[in-house]
A and B are shown apart, each in its own frame.
Chain A
Amino acid sequence: MIMVNGDEFEWREGLTVQDILDAKNFTFRMISVWINGEAVQNRADYASSLVPDGGEVEIIHMISGG
């Protein structure tokens, strides 16, 4: 199990940031992702960034529009 923005999320072997984004339908482009307090530096790396079991993931959507 991991936490994503404070909510429980089922963990599995090989789970990536992109898998979480897809599962939660987080399609907004202006986001930042932090795993256990460390930023995933490059948005292009989401598909290859593995999330460890028990990890705490923050997916921060920036404000935009309006």
Chain B
Amino acid sequence: MPSRPPVRPPGTRGRGAWRGYVYVLPAFLVYVAFAVLPALHTAYLSLFEWDGVTLGEWVGLGNYQEILQDSVLRRSVFNALVLVVFFSFVPIALGLAMTGLLARYRRPGMGAYRFLFMLPQVIPLVAVGVTWRWLYGDDGLVNQAFRTVGLDGVTRAWLGDFDAALVAVGLVGTWVLSGLCMMLFLSGVQKVDPSLYEAARLDGAGPVREFVSVTLPHLRGELAVAMTVTTVAALASFDIVYVTTNGGPGEQTTVPGLLVYRLAFSEGKVGLAAALAVVLGCLILAIVYLINRLSRTET
């Protein structure tokens, strides 16, 4: 987005310039008090061993060390990264493929499709989770579909299967986020000057080359956004996992969000939970930073 530098209105030099902060202050205070300070407080708590009730004990970076050593905690971070594949890579790939196929023509009747594709975005993830929990169940739609095509052998309770559970949870994310990615890219393509396509076509470019040389370069901003949004959704996932598998079977679908909740509030390991939350926050920040960095250097 082009952001013009605001024109300096006359008479707002010097001390008077600060007066504008009166408008910012209320938002600033709420934001700092209920989001920024708690985040810093989390970092502080992560340096203690604390059960949430009795006096805590200063352990420095001990909790972080435990995250490195404990197999369950490490596993949860690994699972979150696997989810990134399904929440981010697959939807983006799908979205790009669709965009490549649809980019060249203005299409009437997109309104209805747009409505449908954005639908999974607006409903509560808990409801999404409950829905898929049933679809993946013994008598669910997924098994019904396999039985219909004669593949009775592969039917199972997908969320209880060691090999399938994480993929199954990941595909729920794919279902939720694919539409968003696709709509983002399609709306980005609308901004491309149609004459560019005509020029490419006159040069004899096929759909693939056209996509690579015309469509893709114009979608850099949208790509960065899609990656950011979907990656954060994957790393910070909680709702879907909580209602579908609650982390099981074994630790196959345990994600950091779930462990933060469990450790802090039912296992009495508040410091460890805080440390895991900090790791999660840093991971998200690092990835967001990286995506922005990359999307800019390519310019």
User: Are A and B bound to each other?
Assistant: no
